[in-house]
Amino acid sequence: MTEASTAAVPLDDAARAALLELAVRGLHRGALGPAQRQLVDAGLAMVKGPLVMPTAEGRAAAADELRLPEGGEQETTLRRLMTTFLPINHRLRELCTSWQRRPDGSANDHGDPAYDAAVRDELDDVDEAVGRVLRRMAEAAPSLAHYRADLTAALEAFDDGHTGMLTSPLEPSYHTVWMWLHQELLLMLGMSREEDGELEAALVAAPSA
């Protein structure tokens, strides 16, 4: 398939949505629907065993699609809110680490209800904080609004006893949904992971006094 023919095949809405989802989530697991089939045919996605993954062309096309106009009001607002989001992002990663391992470096065997309860309690603070910034982000970019409900759904499933719903990479867990949100923000802002990591490190290390 040549580049010319890639560009020549227009995608329908479902396929475009599927492409954006692939770019945000990195992969699609499960049956190959008509939308994914279109992407594969257009050279924007490839099938690897049970997975569909975006090709380099697919990733580039999705990035173009999601990228906000440079210097526009939306971009300025989201870029400012990123400085609030990233320290919370840092807290979430620390919290997931606390859930997986104890402070002495040993794996958390979940045999200590008080320890787990303390981590869960802190998650409320993180969730409240991200909820606040997400509300402002969604005002600027309504396409992000669903993440609030998705995070809440993961949290409720976790509280219903699905312990994997906090950190499991194989489920739409709290951490997984959060990573999707983060990835979508980066694509919207055209930020690289490196730039993002450096900004987060600088924000977390900033003297608080």
Partner 1 sequence: MSTPLVPYGQGRARGLGAAALGVHGDEMDRLVALGLPVVPGLTVPVGHAEELTDPAVARSAVDLVSQLAGRTVGDPAHPVLLRLVASAPLPAAGLPPEVVAIGLTPGNVDGLVGVIGRDGDLHQAWGALLRLLAEDALGVDPAERDDALAGIPAPRDQLSALLALCATSGLGPVPEDAAGQLALAATAVLRRWASPRGARARRTQRLPPDLGLALHVQALRIGHWERSGHGLATSRDPETGRAVATGRFHRGVRRTAPSAAGSEESLSGLGPAGEVLQQALTTLEHHFGSVAEVGFELRDGRVSLLSAGAVERPTPRAAVCLAVDLADAGVLTRAGAVRSLAPSAVQELLHASVRLTGSEAVLATGLAASPGAAEGVVCLSAQRVLALAADGTPAVLVADETDPGDVPAILVAGAVLTAHGGLASHAAVVARGAGTPAVCGASSLRIDRAQGLVSAGDLQVREGEVVTVDGRTGTVYLGAVDIRPAEPPAELDRLLGWADGSRRMGVRANSDTVRETEVALRLGAEGIGLCRTEHQFLGERLPLVQRMLLAPDAAAHRAALEELRRAQHEDFVHLLRAVGDRPVTVRLLDAPLHEFLPRDAVYEDEAARLRAAELHEVNPMLGVRGVRLALLDEELYPAQAEALFLAWVQVVEEGVRPLLEVMVPLVSLPEELAVAAGQVRLARDRVEAQTGVRVPYLLGSMVETPRAALLADRMAEHAHFLSFGTNDLTQMTYGFSRDDVESRLLRSYLDRGLLTASPFAELDADGVGALMALAVDRARRVRPEIKIGLCGEHGGDAASVAWLEGLGLDYVSCSPQRVPVARLAAAQAVL
Q: Which residues bind partner 1 (CB under 8 A)?
A: 27, 29, 50-51, 93-94, 96-97, 100-102, 104-107, 109, 112-118, 120-121, 124, 128, 132, 135-136, 159, 170, 204-209
Smallest separation, CB 144 to partner 1 (Å) = 16
CA atoms within 13 A of residue 84's CA, in its CB half-sphere: 15
Q: Please, which residue, 10 or 161, has the CB nearer to partner 1? A: 161
Smallest separation, CB 141 to partner 1 (Å) = 16
Smallest separation, CB 136 to partner 1 (Å) = 7
Q: Please, which residue, 101 or 146, has the CB nearer to partner 1? A: 101
Q: Please, which residue, 14 or 206, has the CB nearer to partner 1? A: 206
Smallest separation, CB 62 to partner 1 (Å) = 20
Smallest separation, CB 94 to partner 1 (Å) = 8
Q: Please, which residue, 64 or 94, has the CB nearer to partner 1? A: 94
Residues 6+ apart with CB under 8 A from 124: none
Report the alpha-carbon angle 33-57-138, nearest 5: 70
Q: Please, which residue, 2 or 208, has the CB nearer to partner 1? A: 208
Annotate the chain with three-state secondary structure: CCHHHHHHCCCCHHHHHHHHHHHHHCCEECCCCHHHHHHHHCCCEEEECCEEEECHHHHHHHHHHHCCCCCCHHHHHHHHHHHHHHHHHHHHHHHHHHHHECCCCCECCCCCHHHHHHHHHHHHHHHHHHHHHHHHHHHHCHHHCHHHHHHHHHHHHHHCCCHHHCCCCCCCCHHHHHHHHHHHHHHHHCCCHHHHHHHHHHHHHCCCC
Q: Please, which residue, 12 or 94, has the CB nearer to partner 1? A: 94
Smallest separation, CB 205 to partner 1 (Å) = 6
